[in-house]
Amino acid sequence: MDKDSRIYVAGHTGLLGSALIKKLENNGFHNIIARTHKELDLTRYDDVKSFFRKNKPEYVFLAAGTTGGIIANRTYPYRFLHINIAIQDNIFEVANEYSVKHLVFYGSSCIYPKHSSQPIKEEYLLSGKIEETSEAYAIAKMAGVIACKTYNTQFNTNRFIALVPNTMYGPSDHFDTDNSHVLSALITKLHISKENKEKKTILWGNGSPRREFIFSEDVADASIFAVEHSKELENKHYNVGVGIDISIKDLANMIASTVGYNGEISWDKSMPDGVPRKLLDSNRFMDLGWKHSVPLEAGLSLAYRWYLENNQDL
């Protein structure tokens, strides 16, 4: 990308989108295009086509969509399936028609089978049954990953790049306990427990599942790296992670230390845990020369600082 390339960041106010804006601006890119949902409804094909026709973006980072934790996935499966597929389908089709140079799409680690061997390699996709609680969202993301490959194959291009980051966290995340992912939900819950001087906090499950977390700005950095090294990419999706996982119990203790909560943490084993472990094998992408730069403890401090500055109403 040139510094004056027209770059469209879809979903620029969200967790990844805001990180992309920050990274792009810090790297000297100054012709960044963004629209709020009120300004552009990405589920409406005609609106998306009109936007591309008028603005002619050369590069697209597709960070828009609907996401959430276990409760949200179980409560709104239709919404997770329909909205994400509609956005992907519209942007892919129009981006291809207007010959954008590159589009980066983001899958999710939930596309892999529930009981995958660990760490999870890219070729494990479609090799087993996925986790039921995130089925609708996973199917939508799977469709996007496969779409990148099929567009590239049929139109003989390397236009579409599919990255599969593991669980992201950071500034601009959702922090409400009902709809957010585990890390941000724990920040909120343990912060509130601290503020209310609660002697005991009850968390879901038994704390044994292990997860890999990657800071949103590291994923943004990986995205720019992928575009800049597009000639080295195969027509396959690439896992993007840090190569280290942590148990939810240890994560909760780390977050308690970060927010300053000193009470007891207990576990409600009647509630779901989700997949036992999700650690991605990101060697294929790292072998190209990319590596994350933000360790979990430092990332937690940054995420909590943003939470304190922006979520006092929770």
Q: How far apart are CA 10 and CA 199, in angstroms?
A: 43
The pLDDT assigned to 313 comes to 56
The pLDDT assigned to 312 comes to 58
Look at residue 73 and tell me whether its pLDDT is greater than 90.
no
Grade residue 30 by pLDDT with cuts at 50, 70 and 90: very high
pLDDT digits (tens, 9 = 90+) for 98-132: 999 999 999 999 999 999 999 999 999 999 999 88
Check residue 3 and report its DSSP letter.
Answer: T
Buried b (16+ CB within 10 A) or exposed e, 164-197: bbbbbbbbbbbbebebbbbbbbbbbbbbebbeee
Residue 16 CB contacts under 8 Å (≥ 6 apart), including other chains: 63, 106, 168, 216, 219, 220
Looking up tokens 């800071």, which residue turns up? 215
Amino acid at 7: I
Look at residue 314 and tell me whether its pLDDT is greater than 60.
no
Looking up tokens 């009120």, which residue turns up? 38
The residues that are catalytic are 137
pLDDT digits (tens, 9 = 90+) for 199-245: 999 998 999 999 999 999 999 999 999 999 999 999 999 999 999 99
pLDDT digits (tens, 9 = 90+) for 271-289: 877 788 999 999 999 999 9
Buried b (16+ CB within 10 A) or exposed e, 65-82: bbbbbbbbbeebbeebbe
Architecture of the domain spanning 7-310:
3-Layer(aba) Sandwich (3.40)
Q: Domain ranges in the chain?
A: 7-310
